[in-house]
Structure 1
């Protein structure tokens, strides 16, 4: 399998190409996860000065004024065919073609995620972030396994190039799609925004009313089973009063509320867990930089961008040793079996209990995060667009 993560010397590939990048997040409120990937990739591709990028979404959840501003700012085009249900019909029927819905011709279509419509007669690039609904359907409520399988089958039939965000994802695509896909697989690692390397405004933390002078551990992610927040809470219960740290949870409500509520009821956690809900990017940066430790206990990831964001912020990281996380954290993170509360607690205690270790991990983490940039990701994708039309 070829890798497109190495920058090529000289001119940016894809000069003169017009590429339609399809992601519904372009037309919606900007959040984390896939929305961040789509936004960062778009900005990096445009900054690279290679192919001309036309952001496309099926629909928009923005108010008319906000949508008009987004369209003026980015050149966003809407197809009107991307809502749930309509999106599936469009994808599976294969018509109308995406390019028929646009204002001007394009040379390449890039579906920024596997579940997006890929009806096109143009060279097609599909990015696959993970195959979670196939591998662990119990972790994914919004996508049925048969939908994911059919989307994968269609991508394998139609895509000229399949870009995977990690080696782990590429390996699972090969496993589920068969050896015939090998020649079209590329690994294009995600990047981390330069903003996370720069000092944040600590005043942004005031609205959270965290206890002054109390050190805290941060974890970010929606409350879904794969994020394993209940497991982290159990690990904190194991730790009890052995560390003075509180736990700060940032992220949406998710759908794992029952198990989390049960874990939160432990007496050892009373008044020591702070659930902030959704936070903005500037607030997230401030939280990373103020935390003594970032813990990413997820049991399933296609990449794991928060690990790099925390490292870029100079914060030590304890992370799960599953799926893509070892290749993202490398030797700079403390990896453990996060499914075992005792093992997770031991890793947290090891890092929180040693200021010297935290200092070394912070320095190693920043060096590690520097190896991942959106400019490298964009350059690799520009090369893929060029390959797709050749």
Structure 2
């Protein structure tokens, strides 16, 4: 490929190209999930000195005042399309083209996630994070399988290159899109921010009023069925008093609150579970570093970035053995069938019960996390931009 030739020649891939990166997630003020991916990738692309990046904010709530505030918060120069109806025009009419909405010409358009189709006449790169609503519609209430299939079909028709964030996601795209997509598929793994390798400020934990001197297990994620927080609570019930650890849950309320409330009612969990709600990035880093163990019991992921963030923070990880998580955790995490509370409890007990094992896993996890960087992700993506125009 052309990008490989550029790398061997020592040139920066994508140099001289102007790329419009389109992401609705710029409107997400809390900045986790796809919003974190969009922000980290764009900052890394700018950092390698390759293509010129024009971040384009979609129609998801970014009116002029909100756009100005978001620009100040992120330091990114965002271009808002300004009309909520743009999505309908793109979906049903295929116009106006994205480049017609911008102030200057671009060479490539990059749709940073698989959403409604982006109307463009320029070479198009689409990033697919997962096909969850197609594979497990019961886990994804807000997107119907029909909408996801339509979005995938549109991406397959339009895109010059389809970038997948994991081998698992690439395999599922191949399965649901058919053989015609094979030559255009690329796997570009996510990275982990350097900030997670650096010491956090423990004073940031004061506002959570966690019991002093009590070790804790951390899990981060919104309360949706695929995150399996109810299963983690059941595993903690199985453990009972066999470990002294409390459980700290960081993340939004989600839509699995009923099952979680039922699991929380177990007498064994009384006063031992702390739900923090949304936490900032600095607070999350402090929580990772203070925890004895991070548990990621999710039953469906396209990548699983919190696993890497915990490993970078020097925290041992117990994770589900489903979907993309084995390829992210590698041999550095303790993988188990997280759908089985007994199996999950056994894995937690194994790690929490041995300080030596935790120390070994912490060291292995840091080495594993070092294999994933946003700079590498950006260089691979910049090479894809070069391929798209060749």
| TM-score bucket (shorter structure) | over 0.9
Cα deviations by residue, 1:95-124 (Å, 9 ceiling, x for unpaired): 111111111100000000011432100000
Higher mean C-alpha deviation, range 175-184 or range 5-14: 5-14
> Conserved in 2, the CA contact under 8 Å of 1:221 and 1:250?
yes
Pairwise CA distance, 1:28: 3.9
CA contact (8 A) 1:5 1:380 kept: no
- CA shift digits 1:107-149 (9 cap, x unpaired): 0000000114321000000000000000000000111111100
Larger deviation: 75-84 or 180-189?
A: 75-84
Distance in 1, matches of 2:9 and 2:336, equals: 38
Check conservation: 2:165, 2:189, Cα contact below 8 A: yes
TM-score for the superposition, normalised by structure 1: 0.95
Alpha-carbon offset, residue 94 of structure 1: 1.3
* Residues 305, 9 of structure 1: alpha-carbon distance in 2 compared, 3 angstrom cutoff: farther
Q: Distance in 1 between matches of 2:230 and 2:85?
A: 33
2:46 matched to which residue of 1?
46
Any idea what the Cα deviations from partners look like across 1:246-295, whole Å, max 9, x if unmatched?
A: 00000000000110000000000000000000000000000000000000
CA gap 1:82/1:364 in 2 versus in 1, 3 angstroms: farther
- Tell me by how many angstroms 1:41 deviates: 0.2
For 1:328-363, what per-residue CA distance to the aligned partner results, in whole angstroms no more than 9, with x for missing partners? 000000000000000000000000000000000000
Q: What is aligned with 2:239?
A: 239
Note if contact 1:289-1:315 (Cα within 8 Å) is conserved in structure 2: yes
CA contact (8 A) 2:292 2:316 kept: yes
- Deviations, residues 194-250 of structure 1 (Å, cap 9, x unaligned): 000000000000000000000000000000000000000000000000000000000
How much has 1:171 moved relative to structure 2? 0.1
8 Å CA contact retained: 2:109, 2:120: yes
SS of equivalent to 1:253: coil
Change (3 A) 1:304 1:388: same
* Contact 1:319 1:335 (C-alpha < 8 Å) held by counterparts: yes
Cα distance between partner residues in 2 of 1:254 and 1:331: 31
Which ranges of structure 1 fall in alignment gaps of 5 or more residues?
none
- Residues 1:132 and 1:148: Cα distance change in structure 2 (over 3 Å): same
TM-score, normalised on structure 2?
A: 0.95
For structure 1, which segment, 258-267 or 72-81, has the greater mean C-alpha deviation from structure 2 after superposition?
72-81
Q: 1:7, 1:247 → 2: CA distance?
A: 46
Count of aligned positions: 390
Preserved contact between residue 248 and residue 274 of structure 1 (Cα < 8 Å): yes
Q: 293-302 or 65-74, which moves further after superposition?
A: 65-74
Given that 1:28 and 1:61 are in contact with CA atoms closer than 8 Å, whether structure 2 keeps it comes out as no
Residues 160 and 388 in structure 1, CA contact (< 8 A), matched pair in contact too = yes
1:281-333 deviation line (CA, Å, top 9, x unaligned): 00000000000000000000000000000000000000000000000000000
Is the 2:59–2:84 contact (alpha carbons within 8 Å) kept by the matching residues of 1? Answer: no
Q: What's the secondary structure of 1:77's corresponding residue? A: coil
Q: CA RMSD in A?
A: 2.4
Q: Which moved more, 1:2-11 or 1:128-137?
A: 2-11
Partner of 2:7: helix, strand, or coil?
A: coil
Q: Shift in Å at residue 29 of structure 1?
A: 1.3
